[in-house]
Amino acid sequence: MTDLLHQLLRESAARTPHATAVIDDAGVTTYAELDQRANQVAHLLRSRGVRPGDRVGLHLPRTADALVGVYGVLAAGAAYVPLPLGVPASRLRTIVIDAGIRIILAAHDDTTQVRADLGGPDSPLTDVVAPRAAAELSGEPPQIPVEPDDLAYVLYTSGSTGVPKGVMISHRNAMSFVDWAAREFCVTGEDRLANHAPLHFDLSVFDVFAAAWAGAAVVPVPPQAAAFPAVLADFVRTQQITVWYSVPSALNLLVSRSGLRAGDLPALRLVLFAGEVYPLPQLRSALETLPDACFYNLYGPTETNVCTYYRVPRPFPADSAALPIGIPLPGIDLCAETDDGRLAGVGETGELCVRGTTVMRGYLGDPARTAQALRPVVDGPGIPTYHTGDLVTRDSDGHWHFLGRRDSQIKTRGYRVELGEVERALALHPAVVECAVVAVPDEEFGHLIAAFVVLREEVATARLTAHCRTVLPSYMVPWRMRAVTALPRTTTDKIDYRLLKADAEESAHAGHR
């Protein structure tokens, strides 16, 4: 196993130079072409002053150019920092300043605007260049020493405070996951991996690097396909996608809103999902619609990439109340700490703690936050361990189960409530496509619970409330139930709970109880 991410591309280019590496709207890029273009970009970055350990911004859509940028930055000995498209320039400036980004790779038509938006007196940015500007440079790999523990990329995540924090991942961290995943899921040169996740979302690490590990093809999902389920289904069908990896909500929309019938995607052999809880009714529907695919539930915060996995059984047990997050990857140790400061036993609830080779180096430029997140566990060996903030329990078979976030537990009417439990109850109603539950502070009750639902058919919200009363205690039944055509999304395609909470708080303040 190679120790470096960009070495995966070089090895595939040497082994199968004419194999397809990327398929996008511009056509087919072979492994030899991708490797040559990445090396050219590496030489370009070096000529612009980039040195090992520097951070280089990527402001590129999901195309072959994005992969050229990724591998070019790594070949230059630097670390790439994806800058999400379509977000306020103020947020991107925060990232540029925090990461000390002096150069950004951007699409040819965007370089002037990116420089205007993200440069300025308080910004370290000095240069914005398109990958295609390197077309005349050498395609030979630059001879730059890179070590496995060197920084490979920085992913910015808001966390619970909304302040961006840069998660530092080394080559060793990422390769520990990529090598395991490519082997576990039997990725070969015959596969076509859909790239649905943007580069700033850690799901993209599998798409990009597991493909290079095997010499498989990456097929970026065009924005116009991602936005319309029927178009997306046609994309998966016509591109003969064999491996799909996304958040459950995206997969759910593909299955429920596209008109797919059972067996319509026979080439799709593997479906991976992560990032959110997959409601069981929707999962069962996906299993029926995609009978030829093997499903896996992957779990892990950005700080750990994937640290547990669970193969969804077929047939899925009818009496299952929840989907496990499964067992740890090789080389990963898990435990859970209880509220009273001890290690949780079987069946007990605690905060999941992760130790092993996939765990991040820390938060860029923030040693205090790093020390808080990476600290030894109670009765542990004294090794820094990532405290996830996720509440879990372990069953007698050794499978871990996700219960919810510590910060999603609220008090209402004197009772402690896990908002995820309310979501799971709502998802049981046959008319619910997806749902989200938030809490609003209230002087009288502590918190009020508000629910937002997307429905497949018109149903009075009173009926949904009545349904909740049959499966939840009265104090957990939402005070407000609102039907919406779609739930707002973050740039990683997860449900945007902050926007929903702001909406609910506005209604509460207006007196709509």
| pLDDT tens-digit map of 360-371 | 999 999 999 999
Identity of the residue numbered 146: V
Q: How many domains does the chain have?
A: 1
* Percentage of residues of the chain with pLDDT beyond 90: 77
**Rounded mean pLDDT, 434-441:** 92
Residue 430, in any domain of the structure:
yes
Whole-number pLDDT of residue 367: 95
**Residue 353 reports pLDDT greater than 60:** yes
| pLDDT score recorded for residue 381 | 77
Q: Is 421 domain-assigned?
A: yes
28-52: per-residue pLDDT in tens? Answer: 999 999 999 999 999 999 999 999 9
Nearest to residue 19, comparing CAs of 142, 240, 188? 188
Q: At 235, is the secondary structure helix, strand, or coil?
A: helix
pLDDT reported for residue 1: 60
480-507 residue pLDDT tens: 999 999 999 988 888 999 999 999 998 8
| 158 contact partners, CB below 8 Å, separation of at least 6 | 164, 165
pLDDT tens for each residue of 392-405: 999 999 999 998 88
Considering the domain boundaries, does residue 62 fall inside one? Answer: no
CB contact at 8 A, 273 and 247 = yes
**Joined tokens for residue 506:** 């506005």
In this structure, is residue 26 part of a structural domain?
Answer: no
- Please check the confidence at residue 123 and state whether its pLDDT lies above 70: yes
In the prediction, which pLDDT does 465 show? 95
Residue 430 is part of a domain; what is its CATH number?
A: 3.30.300.30
What is the pLDDT confidence band of residue 321, given thresholds at 50, 70 and 90?
Answer: confident
Distance linking the first and last C-alpha atoms of the chain = 59
**pTM for this structure?**
0.87
Token pair of 152 as six digits: 């490979």
Residue-wise pLDDT for 60-74, tens only, equals 999 999 999 999 999
The pLDDT-based confidence of 8 (bands split at 50, 70, 90) is very high
Cα angle 277, 198, 333 (rounded to 5 degrees) comes to 50
pLDDT for 85: 92
Residue 319's pLDDT is: 83
Q: Using DSSP bridges, classify how beta strands 374-375 and 55-59 pair: parallel, antiparallel or unpaired.
A: unpaired
Mean pLDDT, residues 190-202: 95
Average pLDDT, the chain: 92
In a domain, 60, yes or no: no
174 within 8 A of 79, measured Cβ to Cβ: no
DSSP type of residue 1: -
Task: With cut-offs at 50, 70 and 90, classify the pLDDT of residue 511.
Answer: low
Q: What is the pLDDT of residues 404-417, one digit of tens each?
A: 887 777 878 767 78
pLDDT at residue 226, rounded to an integer: 86
What pLDDT was estimated at residue 127? Answer: 97
CB 363 within 8 A of CB 166: yes
φ/ψ of 171, rounded to 5, equals: -60, -45
Instruction: Tell whether the torsion through CA atoms of 491, 495, 499 and 503 is positive or negative.
Output: positive
Distance CA 332, CA 330 (A): 6
* CB of 486 closer than 8 Å to CB of 436: no
Tell me the percentage of the chain whose pLDDT exceeds 70.
Answer: 97
Range of the domain at 420: 413-509
Q: Which two tokens stand for residue 122?
A: 């308080």
Give the residue among 162, 175, 185, 147 at the shortest CA–CA distance from 298.
185
Strand positions, DSSP E, 164-279: 165-170, 192-195, 217-220, 243-246, 270-273
Name residue 410's beta-bridge partners.
417
Find the mean pLDDT for residues 183-194.
98
Instruction: Show the tokens assigned to 321.
Output: 């109340």
Q: Is residue 341 part of a domain?
A: no
Lowest mean pLDDT across 99-113, 155-169, 322-336:
155-169
Q: How would you class 316 by CB atoms within 10 Å of its CB: exposed for 0-12, middle for 13-18, buried for 19 or more? A: middle
State the CB neighbour count (10 A cutoff) for residue 49: 11
pLDDT for res 445: 78
DSSP state of 475: G
Identify whether 469 is part of a domain.
yes
Is the predicted pLDDT of residue 513 greater than 60, yes or no?
A: no
Mean per-residue pLDDT, 254-276: 93
- Tell whether 445 is covered by a domain: yes
What pLDDT, in 10s, does the model give residues 133-169?
999 999 999 999 999 999 999 999 865 445 689 999 9
Confidence check: pLDDT of 83 > 60: yes
The whole-number pLDDT of residue 149 equals 97
Q: At residue 110, what are phi and psi to the nearest 5 degrees?
A: -105, -5
* Whole-number pLDDT of residue 163: 66
Whether the pLDDT of residue 512 is over 50: the answer is no
